[in-house]
Amino acid sequence: MSIEIQDVHKSFGNLEVVKGVTMTVEKGEVVSVIGGSGSGKSTLLMCINGLEPINSGRILVDGTDVHARGTDLNKLRRKIGIVFQQWNAFPHLTVLENVMLAPRKVLGKSKAEAEAIAVQKLSHVGLGEKLKVYPSKLSGGQQQRMAIARALAMSPDYMLFDEVTSALDPQLVGEVLDTMRLLSSEGMTMIVVTHEIAFAREVSDRVAFFHKGRIHEIGPPAQVIGAPQQPETVAFLKSVL
Amino acid sequence: MFETSFSLNDLWFMLKGAGVTLTVTFWAVLGGSLLGVAFGLMRAVSPWWVNAPIGFVLDIFRSVPLLIQLVLANAFKSIIGLKWDPFTVGCVVLAVYTAAYCTEIVRAGVLAVPATTRRAARSLGLSWTQDLTSIVFPIALRVALPSWIGLTLGVMKDTAMVWWIGIVELLRSSQVIVTRIHEPLFVLSIAGLIYFLMSFPIARLGARLEKRWREND
């Protein structure tokens, strides 16, 4: 049980943004990905659940080749939850309906089952009081927690977080990070692309530093953040801390 | 002798005309909206080489005056030997005309749904079709509704032109009465009032839906 990324290259037109990335994330692990803007870290996340095609290399999720022709991506995505920088609430559905949608449509759950799951997940992220509200009435932090609950409702084996606090007002960042802390303490396998270095240091088993489409340094947070070996890592950490 | 003042019979005659106006409007809007949704969706998701020809053909129907389309279509159906009555011709021409406008309304609505929202839906495992029916259509509907209501009201008034191919709808029936009693201002005021009474509920319904949705969004 793992996500294996093997020498993945990804270009947009002539611009190569991921230039040969190899790493493995084992079940139960929390791996944070840090690095400057445009270093390819968000793109890599999109490639993991097949939202973006890759140019070469392979990504295996529990042994399934994500980008192989015969792979049923809709099925594969059930076990990979992803939360984006923009929370992307479905504006025409209530908070409860937002979370119920995928279990009903994709997993074929009954209304009652889906509702039970949704209520449980929403309570888990602290939104048990907001079930009947429309997303527009929520703060950014609440909407982002709803997005997390929406992904969790599919009972994924892996959770990918793409700079989920970057678009939030500073005072709302904490509540979202708390929710992610909770997940990591429950043993959820997570790949967290983030600019929150302190958070990465605290919750991660390993930290990967991306620079210009490559992993420059990967290892335990105490090493990559505490005692970085590469000059690029040192320079990056200096700029964000 | 001729009756020279406005009678209840005249009002009844106009109301029957209004019934024809409503019926033509109904078929034109129904057919035009179905076609419009199909073409609009096609235009929103297709590559340019599918998109451009559809756009070009629909532009013709948007650019040529409706009256000319009606008369030409009516003549053309006789030439190719179609046994359509004028009512059918009127409905079909108006439906195509409506579809041409509706296509752009639908296309704009679909394109207004953020790509990131659709991506989030797909990331949850929803298929392309499920994304379309559960996410894109409901959001696009909210965007497109005001324009669609406007189109419907416009088409209802444009139905007056089917008079030219021999259909007695509200305006034609009014004209018949005007010819007889020579009270154009009075008769046209009644016709105007009837048009208003037919349009008003549709406009109100649109406004109510809009308000309800705005409270949520």
Give the per-residue pLDDT at A197. 92
Q: Is residue B69 part of a domain?
A: yes
Please say if the pLDDT value at position A241 is more than 80.
Answer: no
Q: CB-based contact (8 Å) between B212 and chain A?
A: no
Share of chain B above pLDDT 90, in %: 79
Number of domains in chain B: 1
Residue B89 exposure: Cα atoms within 13 Å on the Cβ side: 26
The domain spanning residue B53 has which CATH number? Answer: 1.10.3720.10
Give the per-residue pLDDT at A168. 87
Among B residues 99-118, those touching chain A with beta carbons less than 8 Å apart: 114, 116-117
Do the Cβ atoms of B124 and A102 come within 8 Å?
Answer: yes
pLDDT in tens, A14-32: 999 999 999 999 999 999 9
Q: Write B120-123 long-range contacts (CB < 8 A, 24+).
A: B120/A84, B120/A88, B120/A90, B120/A147, B121/A90, B122/A51, B122/A74, B122/A77, B123/A49, B123/A51, B123/A77, B123/A80, B123/A81, B123/A82, B123/A84, B123/A151
Give the per-residue pLDDT at B6. 86
> Closest-CA residue in chain A for B116?
A88
Confidence band of A200 (pLDDT split at 50, 70, 90): very high
Give the per-residue pLDDT at B1. 53
Residue among A91, A102, A147 minimizing CB distance to B125:
A102
Please say if the pLDDT value at position A58 is more than 80.
Answer: yes
Q: What span, in angstroms and rounded, lies between the C-alpha atoms of A97 and A149?
A: 12
Q: What span, in angstroms and rounded, lies between the C-alpha atoms of B117 and B132?
A: 11
Q: Give the range of the structural domain holding residue B21, as residue numbers without chain letter.
A: 8-216
Q: Is residue B32 part of a domain?
A: yes
Residue among B117, B124, B134 minimizing CB distance to A154:
B124
> What six digits make up the tokens of B75?
């003549």
How close does chain A come to B124, measured CA to CA in Å? 6
Chain B residues whose beta carbon lies within 8 Å of the beta carbon of residue A106: 124-126, 130
> What six digits make up the tokens of B142?
């909210």
The overall average pLDDT reported for chain A is 92
Q: Is residue B128 part of a domain?
A: yes
pLDDT in tens, B101-155: 999 999 999 999 999 999 999 999 999 999 999 999 999 999 999 999 999 999 9
> Closest-CA residue in chain A for B115?
A88
Give the per-residue pLDDT at A30. 94
Q: Is residue B61 part of a domain?
A: yes
Residues 6+ apart with CB under 8 A from A70: none
Share of chain A above pLDDT 70, in %: 100
Confidence band of B217 (pLDDT split at 50, 70, 90): low
Q: What is the pTM of this model?
A: 0.84
pLDDT in tens, A93-116: 999 999 999 999 999 999 999 999
Q: Is residue B80 part of a domain?
A: yes
Give the per-residue pLDDT at A102. 95
Do the Cβ atoms of A106 and B134 come within 8 Å?
Answer: no
Please return the burial class of B9, using the count of CB atoms within 10 Å of its CB with bins 0-12, 13-18 and 19+. Answer: exposed
pLDDT in tens, B10-59: 999 999 999 999 999 999 999 999 999 999 999 998 888 988 999 999 99
Chain B residues whose beta carbon lies within 8 Å of the beta carbon of residue A49: 123
Q: Is residue B83 part of a domain?
A: yes
Chain A / chain B CB contacts < 8 angstroms:
65
Q: Is residue B2 part of a domain?
A: no
> Closest-CA residue in chain A for B123?
A77
Instruction: Please work out, in degrees rounded to the nearest 5, the angle formed at the alpha carbon of residue B90 by the alpha carbons of B150 and B159.
Output: 35
Q: Is residue B1 part of a domain?
A: no
Give the per-residue pLDDT at A52. 93
pLDDT in tens, B157-185: 999 999 999 899 999 999 999 999 988 99
Confidence band of A81 (pLDDT split at 50, 70, 90): very high
